[in-house]
Amino acid sequence: MAIRPILTAPDPRLREKSRPVDKVDDGLRALMDDMLETMYDAPGIGLAAIQIGEPIRVIVMDLAGENEEAQPLYFVNPEILDPSEETSLYEEGCLSVPEFFEEVERPARCRVRYLDYAGNEQILDAEGLLATCIQHEMDHLEGVLFIDHLSRLKRDRILRKLKKEQRFVAAE
């Protein structure tokens, strides 16, 4: 397993649309292991493959609390079914948009169909933080970031600050 660098906005690779995975094999499982390790190290609760530069439809998540045992979740080729009309508001953040947190409104519940770590089809009914997190990560597969759900004014302000910070880091 290895910790991989996480891309941050406005890196254009984060805007790529990810392609479906053909087969869940050992190579893919090695990538999912790296993703999970990278996410735990950050630390974060969700990571899409494109965030480490791999444009494929794979997500890892773990919503376990600090003193709980790890509960890794792996989603390959996830699809959202039946998003609820009822919405909920959560303060979201993203490892690719570091240090910024803003409220985003999304369907409160959804059903997800996906392949798991072993390549078996699973269906999960999600609500609360789980539903929000899955939808946030699914957005990454379409090249969408949570800041795209904000007003243009807020989004541009965040992107400007991120760009400025990256110039400082590059200059060090």
Binding residues vs Ni ion (CB under 5 A): 94
Find the shortest distance in angstroms from Cβ 14 to Ni ion: 9
If residue 152 lies in a helix (H) or strand (E), which one and from where to where? helix 152-171
Rounded-to-integer distance, Cα 4 and Cα 86, Å: 37
Find the shortest distance in angstroms from Cβ 24 to Ni ion: 23
Token pair in block for residue 4: 């991989």
Strand order across the 46-48 sheet: 46-48, 58-61, 73-81, 109-115, 121-127
List the catalytic residue out of 92, 105, 137, 165: 137
Find the shortest distance in angstroms from Cβ 120 to Ni ion: 26
* Largest Cα–Cα separation, the chain: 48
137 catalytic, yes or no? yes
Nearer to Ni ion, 8 or 166 (CB): 8
Nearer to Ni ion, 85 or 140 (CB): 140
Q: Which residue has the closest beta carbon to Ni ion? A: 94
Q: Which residues are catalytic?
A: 137
